[in-house]
């Protein structure tokens, strides 16, 4: 595959998964907008390369009532950091809720300042 074809295919994945909240790509696209991140920077934040970022976009958004279980499956498949992805998803799902009520879940909830470096005392459920 030529670099141009690869770029075209990647763009198609980003574009089409960004249309439907059923796919993780939707939330990652919003996070890119929120944080003004390019794909490479987003991939780095999640601990993966761009090829695995593409696969991550194609995974289903973790269900609210099975969040940790679904998150684990998706991260095992793509190599993404569970903690980093959970933070991204929770941040964007809060920002895009129709009302301002806070969710009961505490996963990643306190990390409002997303550009801070990761702290050392976090739960060790990363890959």
Partner 1 sequence: MPEPFDWRTLAADWFPHEEAVVAILRQHYPQASTDALHDAFVQGLLEGAQSLRYRPEQGTVVNFLVGCARRCLRMLVRSDTASRQRDEKKGRKVVADKTASARDVLDALADTDLAQIARDQSARTLEERRYLVLWEQGIDDPAQVARALGVEHLEASLQEAHRKRTHDRIMKRLTRLPERCTGEGPGP
CA atoms within 13 A on the CB side of 104: 3
| Measured distance CA(36)–CA(40) in Å, rounded | 12
Residues 80 and 127 sit within 8 Å (Cβ to Cβ): yes
Could you count the other beta carbons within 10 Å of the beta carbon of residue 84?
22
**Does residue 88 belong to the site contacting partner 1 (CB under 8 A)?**
no
- Determine the 3-state secondary structure of 124 from DSSP: coil
| Residue 97 beta carbon to partner 1: minimum distance, rounded to whole angstroms | 22
**Does residue 81 belong to the site contacting partner 1 (CB under 8 A)?**
no
Specify the stretch interacting with partner 1 by CB under 8 A; choose among 26-34, 40-48, 71-79, 97-105. 71-79
Q: How many residues bind partner 1 (CB under 8 A)?
A: 26
Interacting residues with partner 1 (CB under 8 A)? 1, 4-5, 8-9, 11-13, 15-17, 20, 22-23, 54-56, 58-60, 62, 70, 73-74, 77-78
């Amino acid at each position: 595959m030529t670099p141009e074809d690869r770029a075209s295919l990647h763009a198609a994945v980003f574009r089409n998964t960004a249309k439907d909240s059923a796919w993780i790509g939707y939330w990652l696209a919003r996070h890119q907008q929120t944080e003004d991140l390019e794909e490479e920077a987003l991939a780095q934040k999640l601990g993966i390369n761009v090829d695995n970022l593409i696969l991550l976009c194609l995974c289903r958004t973790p269900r609210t009532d099975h969040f940790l279980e679904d998150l684990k499956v998706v991260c095992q498949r793509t190599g993404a950091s569970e903690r980093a992805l959970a933070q991204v998803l929770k941040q964007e799902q809060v920002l895009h809720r129709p009302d301002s009520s806070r969710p009961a879940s505490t996963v990643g909830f306190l990390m409002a300042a997303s550009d801070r470096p990761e702290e050392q005392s976090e739960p060790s459920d990363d890959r």
